[in-house]
Amino acid sequence: MKQVPASRSSSLEISDSLSCDYLIIGGGVAGLSAAIELADKGKVLILTKDSADESNTGYAQGGIAAALGREDSTYLHTKDTMAAGAGMCRHEVVLLTVEEGIPLVRRLIKWGFKFDRIGRRLDFTREAAHSARRILHAYGDATGSEMVRTLSDRVQKLNIPVKSFSMALDLLVKDGRCLGAVVLDAASGQAKAVLAKAVVLASGGLGMVYAETSNPTVATGDGFAMAYRAGAEMADMEFIQFHPTTSCLPGAPRFLISEAVRGEGGKLVNARGARFMSGYHPQAELAPRDVVSRAIVEEMRRTGEDQVYLDMRPLGRERIKQRFPSIYRFCQQYGVDPREQPVPVRPSAHFSMGGVRTDIYGRTNIPGLFACGEVACTFLHGANRLASNSLLEGLVFGSRAARGAMAYLEEEEVSFPDKIFYRGFKPSGGIEDCDARLDKWRQRMWEGAAVVKEPRELRKLVRLLGKELEMLISSGLSKKEEFELLNIYQVSSLIVQSALKRMESRGSHFRKDLPRPDPALAGWHQLARYARKRGKEAVVIERINIT
């Protein structure tokens, strides 16, 4: 097996292993969709890091974008997606997504997905940068959990096994081919192997890289880092989307306040109660997410406050409770009644447009490895994701990655090795203050590489990362939190160095020293790869034009 470059420890022979035809890493919309497509094509196994229902999908409030309304069309949906992507979307990918998504959404309804309706008609809402009301939602603001429920029910009916609380540590690669993953067994704390003829990486996001995030704690960028260490091409890692409105209530965890709140009429106000968005963009509260996030950051700087406020009262008292029940209950729980007073909010890390580079069937540059969902980059989202396109992406490319994996096994004869050696796992006394190190680093990333970036701060982060990575690698890794720390460091390195390399501001990527897009760079993407120079880890970045 390929010896994972993240560790200098001696090789560990793994004798305890499972095997399957298709290994799905991740239990969100993309992973579950892929598993369903593969159910009758061979032996399928789903791995989830936490409980089966804990993923970014389950936290999605806004909904799923689909051009099903009478006044909508796939042309308009494509146009809006391309506009939000700031010259970086691949048109072919956008078009197939909006077109293929429609029958997949209809299939969800057939499977029992309970979209909200007005009478018998589907109830559509509008979100920022959409030119039509095309966002379908469930239980007001619980679309993600309804998605997980519907797809999980289908997985159960198809008897697809799910192995929960099993963190994938690294991909197993031999002779350039992916043959499974090394997994940390939660019960024993030991590394085990899951051998697979094809691996579908659907591990979700990386929001926990930042101190301020809308993501759950499982989103530590594991899939990004595993693929990077295995030699996969990583595309557009500088494009991180920051959601403008995450609650910041005293004593409460961060909680996403859906973009649909502004789509339904919610207004942003500063500490003095004055609206400010019209001074930053003609679309005001319905401007693209990157514009709203930067406007909030600037307004906080201008007023000397660490938050602004989202006023939901224009929606009406009953509408707030009916349309956004989860948001209403959360705010009430922490002492704020959104029917009576504005909710304090600020931006937070939300979604990665970049990831493992794939084609339209999820194929990566490593044979046997496929990727879909947020961990993948098909160039659908470009430099800035259009709101509510992520669940649609998961449905479409989960299905497409499954078809890619099926085609791969039809063409290739895949056999498993007799012995498995893995260098990334080394029993140790543990990293001292692992949680404290993680918290400190996440805060550094928030201060130096978040909504507004400065090259001096980015270079400082690069220097710190070099020291932290070498310390971690030389210490040895054996615990879940140690691997999560490694993954966050390596994903941070990809983000920061890619941000330094892109000499412009575009979409979600904003540099204070270069505040405008460079027309010459429209359509030019960045690919990052793992390398070692002078005995240390290095990120090699090249520029390509594929749009």
Buried b (16+ CB within 10 A) or exposed e, 436-473: ebbeebbebbbebbbbbbeeebbeebeebbeebbeebb
| Whole-number Å distance between alpha carbons of 376 and 140 | 29
* 126, 134, 154, 289: the active-site residue: 289
Which residues are CB-neighbours of 341 under 8 A, at least 6 positions away?
none
- Tokens 């043959």, residue located: 179
Return the CA Rg of the chain: 22
Please give the distance of CA 516 from its chain centroid, rounded to a whole number: 26
User: If 0-12 CB within 10 Å is exposed, 13-18 middle and 19+ buried, where does residue 402 land?
Assistant: buried
Strand ranges (E), 449-523: none
Residue whose tokens read 């406050």: 305
Beta-strand relationship, 44-47 and 17-25: parallel
Alpha-helical regions (H) of 280-433: 289-303, 317-323, 325-333, 390-411
Cβ-based neighbour number of residue 172 at 10 Å:
28
Distance CA 295, CA 506 (A): 15
> Helix, strand or coil for residue 82?
helix
Active site residue 313: no
HEC string for 286-306: HCCHHHHHHHHHHHHHHHCCC
76 CB contacts (<8 Å, ≥6 apart)?
A: 67, 131, 132
Rounded to an integer, what distance in angstroms lies between the CA atom of residue 273 and that of residue 271?
Answer: 5
The rounded distance, in Å, linking the Cα atoms of 46 and 137 is 27
Contact 49, 165 (CB under 8 A): yes
Report the candidate in 332, 361, 3 with the shortest Cα–Cα distance to residue 173.
3
Give Cβ neighbours of residue 208 (< 8 Å, ≥ 6 apart): 215, 217, 218, 219, 220, 221, 442, 484, 488
Two structure tokens written together for 410 = 């039809």
Phi and psi angles of residue 431, each rounded to the nearest 5 degrees, phi first = -80, 130
Q: Which amino acid is residue 157, in one-letter code?
A: K
Which residues carry out catalysis? 289
